[in-house]
Structure 1
Amino acid sequence: MSRPASPSRGFTGLHMLAVMFAFFGVIIAVNITMAVFANTSWTGFVVRNSYVAGLEFNDKTQAAREQAALNWTSSVAIADGRVTFTVHDADGKQVALSEGTASLRRPVSDAEDTLVTLSPDAKGGLSADIQLRDGSWIIETNAIAADATPWHEATRVLLREGTTK
């Protein structure tokens, strides 16, 4: 007597359970991966308090209009481990600056942010020693001219081998 072949059991409840665990396991793994990347990358932080920034908007706009009316131009240069900031008036003459600061930051991270105090140099500009790694930087400069006129400028620069591009 021969035994009949056992019938195929087909798709069972255990198979469905395995499919469900695999499906939701992939979804949970992707969510955990994305959460880890979100917590270790740029925060998206722009201002500390958006309400206060909104209240200051009109004052900053007025200051920008007054600065634009001066028809001054500014330039920032980084070379040989030194940042130099100069301002020229509408006639192209250099404006003597008495003090200032430069905030140097990366566009997408605050890990290398630094604030330096700029000192007057012999030519009437402002400068300070700084060591920056190559790459993209935003330099936000606040300066006071010798006649007490404030100046604010934000510039994006690309450093390659220690010089601005």
Structure 2
Amino acid sequence: MAASSPAPRPITGRFVLITTIAFFAVVIGVNMVMMRLAITTLPGTEVDSAYSASLAYQREIAAARQQNERGWQVQAHVDRRPDGAAAVLLEVRDHAGAPLTGMNILARLERPIDRRADRPIEVSEAGAGSYRGRVDGVAPGQWDLVIEGDADGRRMFLSRNRVLLN
């Protein structure tokens, strides 16, 4: 005589209810964890108000035309050292090649993907038309080097260049 197997348990309403609640609890829990991770790692917006940015657009176009008419030549060189410090050397010349002195140069390294990693660079004049700066805590990878040159309280030069620092 063959051994008989025990009878399977019947599916009851209680079992279906517990299974359904457990399934949705897992789905909602995973969604909440993913939402929390997405919100805490959001780097922020590029522009706080698109309307304000659009109003300033015409002024930026006019400033770019004036910058092109001046014909200034700015050469930038950035080196990242193994300790994470980056050194910036800028050579600023006018349209005739004469060095520009007495400029207030503002520079910063911006991460294209995370605004929180941006690093301002302290730049000072090192000689006739030569400006130097240094910043610590620069991770390797792609950065945007933003250079602004002010004279007499007006922005006279703006440059944004993608650089790869190893």
TM-score normalised to structure 1 length:
0.75
Asked whether the 8 Å contact 1:145–1:151 carries over to 2, the reply is no
- What count of residue pairs does the alignment treat as equivalent? 154
Deviates more, 1:135-144 or 1:103-112: 103-112
Asked whether the 8 Å contact 2:124–2:131 carries over to 1, the reply is yes
1:22 aligns with 2:22: yes
Q: How far does residue 63 in structure 1 lie from its aligned partner after superposition?
A: 1.0
1:74 aligns with 2:74: yes
Alignment of 1:52-71 (within 5 A): 52-71=52-71
SS in 2 for 1:152: strand
SS in 1 for 2:78: strand
Q: How far does residue 47 in structure 1 lie from its aligned partner after superposition?
A: 2.1
Match of 1:118 in 2: 123
Asked whether the 8 Å contact 1:74–1:87 carries over to 2, the reply is yes
Asked whether the 8 Å contact 1:42–1:108 carries over to 2, the reply is no
Deviates more, 1:75-84 or 1:132-141: 75-84
Map Cα deviations across residues 94-132 of structure 1 (whole Å, 9 max, x no partner).
Answer: 641422101222222233323234212214132212222
Query: What root-mean-square deviation, in Å, do the aligned CA atoms of Structure 1 and Structure 2 show?
Result: 2.8
Asked whether the 8 Å contact 1:71–1:89 carries over to 2, the reply is yes
Q: Which amino acid aligns with 1:59?
A: R
SS in 1 for 2:133: strand
Cα distance in 2 for partners of 1:108, 1:78 equals: 20
Please list every run of 5 or more consecutive structure 1 residues that lacks an aligned counterpart in the other structure: 161-165
Please list every run of 5 or more consecutive structure 2 residues that lacks an aligned counterpart in the other structure: none
Among candidates 105, 120, 137, match of residue 110 of structure 2: 105
Match of 1:163 in 2: none
TM-score normalised to structure 2 length:
0.75
Alignment of 1:1-165 (within 5 A): 8-79=8-79, 81-88=86-93, 93=97, 95-97=99-101, 98-131=103-136, 132-144=138-150, 150-160=156-166
SS in 2 for 1:47: coil
Cα distance in 1 for partners of 2:38, 2:111 equals: 18
SS in 1 for 2:52: helix
Classify 1:137/1:129 alpha carbon distance in 2 versus 1 (closer, same or farther; 3 Å).
same
SS in 2 for 1:111: helix
Cα distance in 2 for partners of 1:149, 1:61 equals: 13
Q: How far does residue 45 in structure 1 lie from its aligned partner after superposition?
A: 1.2
